[in-house]
């Protein structure tokens, strides 16, 4: 469920910050809502920088469209 995923992500981000990582980059597929929640102080976590959707050739590993 979305609630379960959000709680898992919150705990993961807090643990990442506790381990000393203050900034995290993601090269594709991340949720911009997590960065917004951290920026608004709703949850604790490192600064998140996302590239947006991953680039891939048609039918490649990053192509999220169904055949």
Q: What is the pLDDT of residues 4-15, one digit of tens each?
A: 988 999 999 999
**% of the chain beyond a pLDDT of 90:** 45
Q: pTM for this one?
A: 0.70
User: Between residues 66 and 17, which one has the greater pLDDT?
Assistant: 17
Question: Mean pLDDT, the chain, as a whole number?
Answer: 86
Instruction: Residue 62: count other Cβ atoms within 10 Å of its Cβ.
Output: 13
Residue 67: per-residue pLDDT: 64
Long-range contacts of 14-19 (CB under 8 A, 24+ apart): 14/43, 14/44, 14/45, 16/45, 16/46, 17/44, 17/45, 17/46
């Amino acid at each position: 469920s979305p609630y379960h995923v959000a709680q898992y992500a919150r705990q993961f981000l807090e643990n990442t910050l506790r381990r000393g990582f203050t900034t995290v980059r993601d090269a594709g597929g991340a949720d911009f809502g997590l960065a917004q929640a951290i920026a608004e102080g709703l949850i604790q976590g490192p600064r998140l920088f996302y590239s947006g959707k991953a680039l891939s050739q048609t039918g490649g590993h990053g192509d999220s469209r169904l055949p």
